[in-house]
Amino acid sequence: MGHFFFYLAVVAACLLWSAAFTAAAARSRPGWVRRMLAAAAVIVPPLALAPWVFLTGRLLAMGLPTNWFAPTLTACLAALVGGAWILLAGLAPRAAAATWPLVGLAGLFVLAKAVAVGTLLFIDNAVAAEGRMLWVEAAQIMATLLPPAPAPDDNAAPLYRRAFAEIAADAALAPENSPAQDPPFTVDTSAPEATAILKRHAATLDLLRRAIDRPGCRFDRDWSRPSFDMLLEESQSMREAARLLVLAARRAAADGDGAGALADIVRIHRLGLQTASEPFLVSCLVGQAIDRLALETLADTLPRLDEADLHLLDEEPVRDLLATSITCQWAFLGDEAVVLATLGDLADGSRRMSTLALLGAWHQSSKSPQAYPLDRLFSLLYRCFILPADIAGYRHMMRRYQDVVGSTLFAKPDPHPAVVKQATAIEKELESRGGFFSLLLAPPLSGAIGAQMRGKTLHDVAGVLVAATRARLAGESLAASPVPAALAALPRDPFTADKPLIAKRSDDGWVVYSVGPDGEDDGGPAARGADAENGSDDVGLRMPVP
């Protein structure tokens, strides 16, 4: 309703302008002055609205559903047609325009403009109040996602920081020359370089193991005001720590210490869980990458186990590793809290915007307000006309996203084709009802859900390989198939509607895999050390022959 009164006041101001100048023209003698006043009566109002017609037309051309082009164009046409009619009627023979109260019309014009500006400020204040509620909502969402703060002696964060500092100080662990970097499974753990790293970082590994074994981990952040300014530098450090643990686990397995290797593999998995416990999508994706390292290390370690290690595979830590994959559902909620807090800043006017924001790129200007004289005007118009639709569109989109994410996890998860169909429907709906920020800040749904499904698949694959190893250590022959008799059937492949995972003999051992997102069997994932760009998107693990 506020927008209707705003446009009504704008049209009224335009018509009053035309009436005032028509009255002035009627009082003037025929000549160029009269013609100038008559032209100003008709041309100036639509000319003043023309930039806004152009701007809203650009928003319409960009595909932005909430573009306000129709009402702005209607107001411009009303000003043009109404102004022309007032001029013709006022200057017609025997017309009384010369008797119109010029000062009164001018005063009413000023009053109509004041009403338009006041209505705009009223709308802006309402949006600002909603922005403050968004801050509260974002803080509440984040509070529900965070686990209870651990006691100081139970918090792993201080130990992690010490370990990260030691890793960062070692130039030999830089990505370009470290055997602890990817790909970690092509490195000879008995090589002098690997031995030197493990010896030099024995204390670092001890810190990491003690940290992972602690019951909680929370890094210091202001969780009550989630924002994109939160630094998540620990995520990359977590991955570097995971690679160091992979090197240690593989070395322990090569030395015949199956218990030590499995203990470090479980720790790598827990490290991934702790990384993903921070409710941000980037943390979740890094945690999933660390989790994959744990499962790949497990597949590399299983052939090295002997009969004395059989009981280790039945212990609770290994069972928990196989059963617990990382979900991005809470990360979507955390990212939603961050975006809602950002939209709250925009609604309150706390976050300054440049005119680039109107073209789909936003940032917090580091320059003085005088650097962009139109910023305040564009920011006001964005808050009043676009931001409410942005907020509503983003809320709706996130509800749909979280439903799709949840459907890939629970009792009867949807197969990948159904998930792709749902994701496509959401993306089309977002295009039809989204705004600047709901389009710009939409999370990478397909990528995040694909990563989650790949993680779940790898856990199912690892379960098959553990069952096969358990059967081997119990004396069962697996010459023809890695599927032991104790395993009634292979788990369902989540990337298909109803087909199971594939298990077969490979050149270097056994491979268990899913057909991947394209739904086609490409022969399994790329072999270790092979070119990753081999055209295969199969998801699985390779286990060497014992």
Long-range Cβ contact pairs of 477-480 (< 8 A, separation 24 or more): 478/510
Between residues 385 and 147, which one has the greater pLDDT? 385
- Domain assignment present for residue 111? The answer is no
342 and 427 both lie in a single domain:
yes
**Stretch (H or E) spanning 503:** strand 502-506
Which band of pLDDT confidence, cut at 50, 70 and 90, is reported for residue 359?
very low
pLDDT at 444 over 90: no
Q: What is the DSSP letter of 357?
A: G
The pLDDT confidence band at residue 482, using thresholds 50, 70 and 90, is low
Which pLDDT tens digit goes with each residue over 521-537? Answer: 888 887 765 555 456 78
| 280-321 pLDDT tens trace | 888 888 999 999 999 999 999 999 999 888 899 999 999 999
Is residue 113 a part of any domain in this protein?
no
Q: Which residues make beta-bridge pairs with 492?
A: 500
Same domain, 405 and 502: no
- pLDDT category of residue 442 using cuts at 50, 70 and 90: low
Give the C-alpha separation, 59 to 358, whole Å.
Answer: 9
The amino acid at 46: P
Q: What is the CA radius of gyration of the chain?
A: 33
Do 320 and 339 fall within a single domain? no
Q: Are 367 and 146 in contact (CB under 8 A)?
A: no
Same domain, 200 and 314: yes
Winning range, highest mean pLDDT, from 91-105, 239-253, 347-361, 379-393 = 239-253
For the segment 212-236, the average pLDDT, to the nearest whole number, is 81
Average pLDDT over all residues of the chain: 81
Instruction: Say whether both 312 and 349 belong to one domain.
Output: no
Same domain? For 423 and 523 the reply is: no
Same domain, 253 and 311: yes
* pLDDT score of 72: 93
3-state secondary structure of 108: helix
Which of 100, 131, 164 terminates a domain? The answer is 100
Residue that finishes a domain, picked among 311, 326, 341: 326
Q: Please indicate, yes or no, whether residues 291 and 155 belong to a single structural domain of this protein.
A: yes
Identify whether 129 is part of a domain: no
Q: Containing domain of residue 541, as a range?
A: 473-546
Q: Which of 85-89, 469-473, 495-499, 532-536 has the lowest mean pLDDT?
A: 532-536
DSSP state for residue 325 in the 8-state scheme: P
pLDDT of residue 212: 95
Verdict on whether the full-model pTM lies above 0.75: yes
* pLDDT classification of 234: cutoffs 50, 70, 90: confident
Say what the pLDDT of residue 33 is. Answer: 87
Residue 126: inside a domain: no
Residue 58 lies in a domain: yes
The position carrying tokens 């899913």 is: 514
CA distances, 122 to each of 145, 383, 446, 491 (Å): 35, 12, 40, 59
Same domain, 343 and 275: no
Domain assignment present for 459:
no
Give me 183's structure tokens: 């790909």
Residues 318 and 370 in one domain: no
DSSP reduced 3-state for 92: coil
Q: Are residues 520 and 546 in the same domain?
A: yes
Is 91 a member of any domain?
yes
Query: Do residue 320 and residue 343 come from a single domain?
Result: no
| C-alpha to C-alpha distances, 323 to 62, 316, 317, 331, nearest whole angstrom | 46, 10, 10, 20
Task: Please give the Cα distance from 6 to 424 (Å, whole number).
Answer: 37
Domain count, the chain: 4
List, in sequence order, every residue forming a beta bridge with 155; answer none if it has no partner.
216
What is the per-residue pLDDT across 400-420, written as a single tens digit (0 to 9) for each? 777 776 655 444 555 666 676
Last-in-domain residue among 326, 350, 377: 326
Q: Quick check: is 139 in a domain?
A: no
The neighbour count for residue 450, using CB atoms within 10 Å, is: 21
For residue 479, what pLDDT is reported?
60
